[in-house]
């Protein structure tokens, strides 16, 4: 058996930075391939314009994910978090979520809320693993193909 080589493949740098208007085109491509009823470019531009905490996750030169957080009155609301399909299940969603929790703390939030589809089991597992608990259900919250889908409402207390 040959010894392992020291010529390991380079690991791309992962960084989270503020999202800019120029990123919306790339964000929109991820959004449209991830959701049957995606946000529009206008929604993302509006979130940036009003000062929401919008973040872009890069893996090397590739925009691989994004998130949108609103804050105010001691609370935060995670409005959107998505990782590009080929980068999922590598811990990047967790990294982005942890970043947004820190952003909420830095903004003075004591609570952070989010909604997710009951059918999105991977997201539910991620949120539970990061201390979010279900506090309710919003009936018919999400648009769906045949009928509207409920939303699970989750909350985490920030220490």
Query: Angle 24-34/41-49 helices, nearest 10 degrees?
Result: 130
**Closest by Cα among 155, 158, 50, 55 to 106:** 158
Q: Which residue is catalytic, options 31, 52, 66, 127?
A: 127
Q: Is 115 considered catalytic here?
A: yes
Is position 35 annotated as part of the catalytic site? no
**Bridge partner residues of 66 (DSSP):** 56, 82
Name the H helices within 35-118.
41-49, 92-106
DSSP letter at 44?
H
User: Which of these is catalytic: 35, 58, 75, 115?
Assistant: 115
Catalytic residues: 115, 127
């Amino acid at each position: 058996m040959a010894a392992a080589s020291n010529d390991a493949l380079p690991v791309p740098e992962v960084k989270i930075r503020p999202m800019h208007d120029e990123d919306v085109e790339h964000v929109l491509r991820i959004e449209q391939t991830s959701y049957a009823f995606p946000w529009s470019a206008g929604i993302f531009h509006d979130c940036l314009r009003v000062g929401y905490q919008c973040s872009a996750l890069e893996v090397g030169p590739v925009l691989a994910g994004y998130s949108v957080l609103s804050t105010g009155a001691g609370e935060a609301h995670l409005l959107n978090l998505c990782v590009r399909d080929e980068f999922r299940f590598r811990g990047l969603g967790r990294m982005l979520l942890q970043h947004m929790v820190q952003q909420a703390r830095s903004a003075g939030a004591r609570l952070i809320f989010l909604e997710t589809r009951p059918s999105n089991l991977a997201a539910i597992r991620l949120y539970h693993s990061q201390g979010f608990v279900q506090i309710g259900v919003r009936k018919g919250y999400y648009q769906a193909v045949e009928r509207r889908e409920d939303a699970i409402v989750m909350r985490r207390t920030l220490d």
